[in-house]
Structure 1
């Protein structure tokens, strides 16, 4: 197959009256026929503004149906859809504008206060303006699979954001892979709360569920009670949230009461999931599992049955049907079962290139595989366990220390909300293992906390892995997509006073 067929048009032809999208907050619904016709109307407007193949079209907006309308409108003209992270500062937004040089920038009315500060003119819009009877005339049935379709900027936790360009092949393969491997169908309904400017919001479940003929319920704000009520009232079958969201979700009184009869699975992604969240779902007998992905690959790469995830907490399972994963050592050879290696992902769902960053693209994709920079191992059953970034691995006293192992142990500590392990330069150890924690109801002056944390770690960890220092934070800093920001934690730790010093004998 070398063509991408317009599956939204085909869905609109087959099930024109089937509900495709619901605004979770207002309850407004759009059928497949309406979404497709609005995308053609939007394409007509883009054509009138001179948009042509390869032009970048930017959107700054909270989650909403406009992401889908503009995405498919860009398809008609072979333009590149570029959603911006609206949580960025004006300075950061202008950096992105300078990088991708968009021809057109659409801005949601709620962000009109930014217009005067942006380095290019923005077009305010109203979805209602994209009338369904003003139709783009061309209506391309199929396009070359290698044509760029969207560009999503990476999180930038290790440097400036990079624009990952995804082709029709990338998006289609991820969608087809997800539908086939995860068993999605037109009976599925998902709730999208992850930001749609991020691959987790647009590509993890939104496009695959629509491709399968299901329904997507979109929320623009994360309010735990509203999300819980939405899952129930819209009879959702699958949802993806990050651990910080689940942490608030499981604390709800209604979470303890409800049975969620329609839910097939709760998915967690974006960061390792604490055991306390696993405990909460297992205690209610609800299916729960973790996944792994990144903007440059999918983001869907693994499948694990919830029954297996229950037994193997922290595992993401096995590679999906249409992609492969290998673990390689520094010499580029595959490691053995139980050995740690860098994850390299293969498949047609990989991104095409980083925008105007040829050397970084060549560094990331070598011999047909995406070198993720993430470390993992496989158990004897072939299931994968993620250990975190290569750059996050610490070498303390000549020993390799994997932060996620310590964080997983600490996640079971009573009252612990969050924990993040980082390394600091140290003359004696090379790198010193330290930990930032957020604890519920902790008296900052409690002199016994250091002993309790130290004893808790020493029960399950070798001495060299036990953090030498603990730092108290009310809440650990997050990136714009809800991941714990370890770069910010290192800066905080280096510039703040010591909370608890647990320097111990390493023997």
Structure 2
């Protein structure tokens, strides 16, 4: 389809399949509906550089919305559907979103985060049955033409990544203002050039579309003329069934999904024909060596691992064949040049652990936080997100910690500070430190070390009370799964918590 972001895709070809809902969208329908969405955004006063927020579950309409925003030159922010009201409202305010589109399945959260009438001044649209105070998205879309808006230009997503302050930070890349087709589309290029993705191939995305990789890679599939199969939510057997039913050729996962599929009964795993699958991509969290070996034994050497960040400061990749020679590595650079420094900024030799930086990295900024933006750059002009690791003699990167203090549970980034701030408000708590301890399924589990005002109060009843206290104020994936009661936390004379020491103490206890 010349003049569209979808290249030469046949209008009758399937662009989106949603399982198990059964929603199906052709390229012709996606082209028409994304054009209608772009007209709708323009009619509501959104011009190039404006922002629209999407609060929706995995459903077909997600794609027409992001493509409508992409072709209208907008920033679009996908809001994590598992956030609390306050957390979601913060992102809505901070992003400056002028219009919100929400799905009716999330109406309670949508109503709560838009309680302030000043938010979303250009409109509130609801997919499905519109509640009071919301307009019907489908009705408004139907009133718009199917043809492109006259001033199309490439937009971009505005994604949020938590910062050490505990508040998420929007990662904003400059818009080019250039016409459709000029987007760098890194995932799409990787698919085509490294993973032999061809028009008509089928890509399975089992993760939420509000995360960076699922959204970027599925849009890359559309730019490459393939079919995207999306799971409404991850289920281990359903994922295998989707591969078999739709003859999936490419897919993307996080290690927790591997663990859950490996735990299926052997007879269930053998029930599904996975022979169509040529490449399985994984990222987002370190994959335990034993888990990856088991997956290679099951699916064959078809795994493609990449290490990157939402900020896009650099990237490495590694094939199964390379990984079997370098188990635990995240590969060699494909974007930027990695180097390792000590705390004083001196570049370290091979094999020594330090902060991972990338030279020749892309431009980005943390929305509303110039200090954090500046801190992500060094005197060489390189950029870092704070991960630590080392390079071996062959130039392969190994990570020793995803980020200082960062917890990655089920492929989701969790920063302890926000959890600590909540628990400190409980009257029984004198001090608290939150770390991630190894977990065979989730990668890491959120563990809180709580120093009590009254040590005699320690016990399972208080632990349950603290977990309930946290659950009332935090998204479910941030709530500690494990509460420990040490007599004292290891702090420096200046009050800084020695987290690595705390983590070691908890692992040994």
Question: Which TM-score applies when normalising by structure 1?
Answer: 0.72
Q: Would you say 1:138 and 2:145 are equivalent positions?
A: no
CA distance in 2, matches of 1:197, 1:501: 33
- In structure 2, what is the equivalent of residue 335 of structure 1? 348
- The whole-number CA distance in structure 1 between the counterparts of 2:285 and 2:487 is 25
In the alignment, which of 248, 257, 274 is matched to residue 236 of structure 1? Answer: 248
- Which residue does 2:426 correspond to in 1? none
CA distance in 1, matches of 2:352, 2:247: 42
List aligned pairs for 1:282-431, cutoff 5 A: 282-287=296-301, 288-297=303-312, 301-320=315-334, 322-347=335-360, 350=362, 352-366=364-378, 367-389=380-402, 391-392=404-405, 407=438
Unaligned runs of 5+ in 2: 129-136, 177-181, 407-434, 452-459, 461-466, 489-504
Distance 1:390 1:133 in 2: 46
Structure 1: distance between partners of 2:485 and 2:102: 38
The alignment status of 1:201 with 2:177, answered yes or no, reads no
Structure 2 contact 55–81 (Cα < 8 Å) conserved = yes
Cα distance, 1:364 vs structure 2: 1.3
3-state SS of 1:230 partner: helix
How far is 1:110 from its partner? 0.5
Structure 2 Cα separation of the partners of residues 334 and 380 of structure 1: 15
Relative to structure 1, the CA distance from residue 285 to residue 76 in structure 2 (aligned partners, 3 Å threshold; closer, same or farther) is: closer
- CA change 1:376–1:503 in 2 (3 A) is closer
* TM-score, normalised via structure 2 length: 0.72
Deviation, 1:105, is 0.8
Count how many residue pairs are aligned between Structure 1 and Structure 2. 421
1:314 deviates by: 1.6
Match of 2:100 among 105, 123, 127: 105
Aligned-partner Cα distance in 1 for 2:443–2:152: 49
Checking the alignment, whether the CA contact within 8 Å between 2:82 and 2:476 is kept in structure 1 is no
Partner of 2:233: 221
Deviations 1:354-409 (A, max 9, x none): 1111111111134443212111212232221111145249xxxxxxxxx99x95xx
**C-alpha separation between the residues in 2 aligned to 1:157 and 1:110?**
32
Assess if the C-alpha contact under 8 Å between 1:340 and 1:375 holds in 2.
yes
Which secondary structure state, in structure 1, belongs to the residue aligned with residue 338 of structure 2?
strand
Q: Please point out which of 71, 78, 81 is paired with 1:83.
A: 78
Counterparts of 2:227 and 2:307, CA distance in 1 = 23
**1:154 offset after TM fit, Å?**
0.9
The alpha-carbon deviation at position 213 of structure 1 amounts to: 1.8
- Residues 25, 331 of structure 1: CA spacing in aligned structure 2 closer, same or farther, 3 A cutoff? same
RMSD (Å), alpha carbons: 3.8
Contact 1:12 1:33 in 2 (8 A): no
Q: Residue deviations 1:76-107, cap 9 Å, x none?
A: 43221111111111111122222123211111
In the TM superposition, what is the alpha-carbon distance from 1:323 to its structure 2 partner?
3.3
1:493 to 470, 484, 487: 484
Where does residue 35 of structure 2 map in the other structure?
40
Matches within 5 A, 1:6-85: 9-11=4-6, 13-85=8-80
Provide Cα deviations, 1:59-79, integer angstroms capped at 9, x if missing partner.
100122323222222234322
Partner of 2:383, secondary structure, is strand
Deviation of residue 488 (structure 1)? Answer: 4.2
**How far apart are the structure 1 equivalents of 2:507 and 2:77?**
47
Whether the aligned pair in 1 keeps the contact of 2:206 and 2:231 (CA below 8 Å) is: yes
Q: Once the 2 structures are TM-superposed, how far is the Cα of residue 422 of structure 1 from its aligned partner?
A: 8.1
Pick the aligned partner of 1:152 from 159, 176, 186: 159
- Structure 1, 86-95 or 361-370: larger mean CA deviation: 361-370
Q: Offset at 1:222?
A: 1.2
- Contact map agreement 1:164 1:351 (CA 8 A) in 2: no
Cα distance 1:390–1:22, how it changes in 2: closer, same or farther (>3 A)? Answer: closer
Structure 1 Cα separation of the partners of residues 372 and 212 of structure 2:
20
Answer yes or no: is the 8 Å Cα contact 2:207–2:233 preserved in 1.
no
Q: How big is each residue's C-alpha offset from its partner over 1:335-359, in whole Å with a ceiling of 9 and x where there is no partner?
A: 22212232113456x3521111111
Q: Which ranges in structure 1 are unaligned for 5 or more consecutive residues?
A: 1-5, 394-402, 427-443, 445-472
User: Are the structure 2 counterparts of residues 501 and 210 from structure 1 closer, same or farther at C-alpha, using a change threshold of 3 Å?
Assistant: closer
1:21 and 1:216 in contact (8 A); partners too: yes
Q: Conserved in 2, the CA contact under 8 Å of 1:44 and 1:134?
A: yes
Deviation of 1:324 after TM superposition, in Å, equals 2.9
Cα distance, 1:345–1:424 mapped onto 2, change above 3 Å: farther
Question: For residue 212 of structure 1, what is the aligned residue in structure 2?
Answer: 224
Cα deviation, residue 217, structure 1: 0.8
Cα deviation, residue 7, structure 1: 8.5
How far 1:38 sits from its partner (Å)? 0.7
Number of the residue aligned with 1:174? 186
How far off is 1:58 after superposition?
A: 0.6
Alignment-derived partner of residue 285 in structure 2: 271
Q: Is the 2:447–2:480 contact (alpha carbons within 8 Å) kept by the matching residues of 1?
A: no
Tell me the SS of whatever aligns to 1:284. helix
Residues 274 and 501 of structure 1: CA distance in aligned 2, closer, same or farther (over 3 Å): closer
